[in-house]
Structure 1
Amino acid sequence: MSLSSRSPVLLAGLLAGSAVAHFTVPKVFDATIPRALPGAPRTWTYASGVVELALAAGVALPRTRRAAAKATTAFFVGVFPANVQMAVDWRHRPTPLKAAAMGRLPLQVPLVLWARSVARTTEGRS
């Protein structure tokens, strides 16, 4: 199995792992929810975890991979404001935490490109 053929499986694994984290350590994610969003942060944390689980399942299955990878691309773009919120909120934290929060910002670009690549290279219809 080549790296390119494993790429969708790895992306699905990343999404599933992140989804599980949303439920096992939700407080970390609650802190990244932009305050401009209505409702309780925990609701958004759990909702994004559910979305990530659905995306992981969709990307893992060849029949739904293309559509799910396109949706994952949009999801990665859509959660960028949470990363910005985290960087703003953590700007006065100790250097390692501040660096981690700032490091998330450029990390979003390769994630978007990865999901887009999976969508483009998937054969078949979805």
Structure 2
Amino acid sequence: MPWADDIAIFCQGRAMELDVSSRVGGSWAGVNIMRCSGNLDLETVDIFTGAALPPLETDGKPLIIDLSGVSFIDSMGLSGLIAALSHAREVELGLDLVVNTERVSRLLSLTGVDVLMPIHESLQGALASN
């Protein structure tokens, strides 16, 4: 499975960039972890959903999306998060977020996304809850 290896997918366009890497195994063998950094927006949401949905479809393990490195999310980025959550619910798997930046945390709170899925301040906290 190509996403199961350590991968990095880069989406570049007009000063917007999103770096997505996925990991499985290790001390967190019961979950998949997807780390994102950069901007989650109109130009990068397809890369995000392209990386988030396959593990939910094929692996049968909950997904933790680490947004610690994400500095900006727009409405399309929010829709990508909601799409990942909807898919996780369809296949009856958990989806947790790691958010430790004030800007992203405030956005998720203002839009109500923070009540739709568990949000943790650290990856260790997310792993402990799974």
Higher strand share: 2
* Relative contact order higher in (CA < 8 Å, ≥ 6 apart): 1
* Structure of greater Rg: 1
Query: Is TM-score (shorter-chain normalized) higher than 0.5?
Result: no
The TM-score, its normalising length taken from structure 1, stands at 0.26
TM-score (norm 2): 0.26
Query: Which structure has more helix as a fraction of its residues?
Result: 1
